[in-house]
Amino acid sequence: MTLTERLRNVFSFPVLLGALLLGWVFWIAKASIADPDIWWHMENARYLFAHHHFPNFDTFSFTTLGHPWMDHEWLAEIPYYLGWRAGGLVGVYLVYLGILNLIFLAIFYLGYKSSGNVKGSWIAACYCVFLGAVSFGPRTLLYGYVYLLGLVLVMQRFRAKGKAPLWLIPILFCLWINSHGSWLIGLVVFGILIASGFIEGSWGRVYAVRWTPKQLRQLIVTAGASVAALFVNPWGYHLVYYPFDLAFRQKLTVNNIEEWASVDFNEPVRGKIVLIMLAALLVGALVMKHKWELGQLGLALLAMYSGLTYVRFLFLAAILLVPLLAKFLDFVPPYQPEIDKPLLNAGIIVAMLVIIIAYFPTEDMLKNGVADRFPAAAVTYVKVHGLPGRTLNHYTWGGYLVWRDSGLQTFVDSRSDIYEYEGVLGDYLDMLRLKNSLKVLDKYQIRWVIFPPKEPLSYLLEHNADWKSVYNDHVTEIFERVGPMPPSTWSPRSFPSVTATRQSTGEAKPSPGLHP
């Protein structure tokens, strides 16, 4: 092989497109790791590495102290924590960016394998970056999308060639259930793809191809092994049940967390992006007279329902719809290897790498980004002055305060499940809406409030004689109760299992607000 041929392979036009896609992901992702969940995720991993077992009950807040709790995303927390140990916030950012890059390269490849048009697939993948941006951040959910892409790619190969490494699918589900609750969506996708081959026929623009008896046996065995693999986790059937608990029991979480809201088409950016997607699907289906394979149609309907109903699933919609979007772009001229210019491609890739290196965030840049969204400066004040007594903190700050070892007796954090079970989340939401806010503060005998200065609750306390602002910056305001503390109308629940857990594991009594 000559040098020119090697350069043509290494710096081919498809490689250039993949590199440009990664540059686009880097630019849209921005230099930020300011996600409210990452802090308590890393705190859980720190606990696991220090004690060599999982936390069995809550040790973060005074409101649910001792409440039984499962660390249901433990496997996905470990890479972020190891990234932090290796390189601080930059290490966390590198892990997060690496997962994103893997996802979008797989999306690009999925589109290409479906359409055969590398240029159209690249355009579709770049558009999917906009859809997926809703879930950008160092999140455990990203691992679920890695596993989903693995599942779809294996099944695509099996449908096209009649054979594929189906043995990978149970392994994916085993990893998936220990990483994130989105495994249930994966099971639905797997079920749709299997069921679409039960029949054969053509109905207008929809057609189905029946699995051969051998293929069907292989799929049934794989499905059974995948379901069995779900129970290979530290909590057995309890972890398998968790996504159903979220769907049917955690109503406040689903109805009040922003990413669980439906798509708002009046939004200037996201709403218009989704409208473009809907228009592309409609025009593509009508003008190009696309024939829909039954499984493909089922996944498209699942994608549209999920993405339009819950904003957080627009990323899911991007993954499931990219094969269609790529096919609808078949009119884009195909790649012609004979006119490729590897030296030009190499020059563009090098230039892009130089730009990425120039804009790559430093530790200080990431710290500044965190300080713009979390009470970083206020934690220093707290450590110097100390805030004895119970503290009401902002929902998104609880995990950060614990991770920073602030010493505060926190009220709530973004692990919404246990706070909803105990009614704490409902009381917190009432306070945000100024519904009996002062009575709720009295109920929990709150002495300190640490909140953003422009929140309605902060305005209320600024104009109440029983409260005094003792600290203020552009992110945080701290209030101290200066009026009399009312009699207690609430006391934490006692959990009998906590004593037995301590005796069996050797755990010390948990200290609220401090990392274990």
Q: Identify whether 514 is part of a domain.
A: no
Domain count, the chain: 2
Tokens coding 197: 């081959």
Whether residues 235 and 298 share a domain: the answer is: yes
Shared domain check, 448 and 402 = yes
- For 327-378, the pLDDT digits (tens) are 888 889 999 988 888 889 999 999 999 999 999 999 999 999 999 999 999 9
Residues 150 and 293 in one domain: yes
Q: In Å, how far are 267, 327, 361, 456 from 285, measured between CA atoms?
A: 26, 10, 43, 48
Do 149 and 292 have their domain in common?
A: yes
- In order of 359, 409, 417, the CA distances from 330 in angstroms are 35, 59, 46
* 514: confidence class by pLDDT, cuts 50, 70, 90: very low
pLDDT at 282: 77
> Rounded to 5 degrees, what are φ and ψ at 76?
-75, -15
The verdict on residue 5 lying in a domain is no
pLDDT score for 2: 67
Mean of all residue pLDDT scores within the chain: 89
Of the given ranges (9-13, 151-155, 380-384), which has the lowest mean pLDDT? 9-13
Range of the domain at 180: 70-333
Q: Is residue 291 part of a domain?
A: yes
Mean pLDDT of 158-170: 95
Any idea which of 68-77, 93-102, 241-250 has the lowest mean pLDDT?
Answer: 241-250
- The one-letter amino acid code at 254 reads V
The pTM for the full model equals 0.91
CATH number of the domain residue 469 falls in: 3.40.50
**Cβ atoms of residues 430 and 436 within 8 Å:** yes
Residue 43's H or E segment, with its range, is helix 38-51
**Strand order across the 467-472 sheet:** 391-393, 448-451, 477-481, 467-472
Same domain (yes/no): 397, 298 = no
* Domain annotation covers residue 353: no
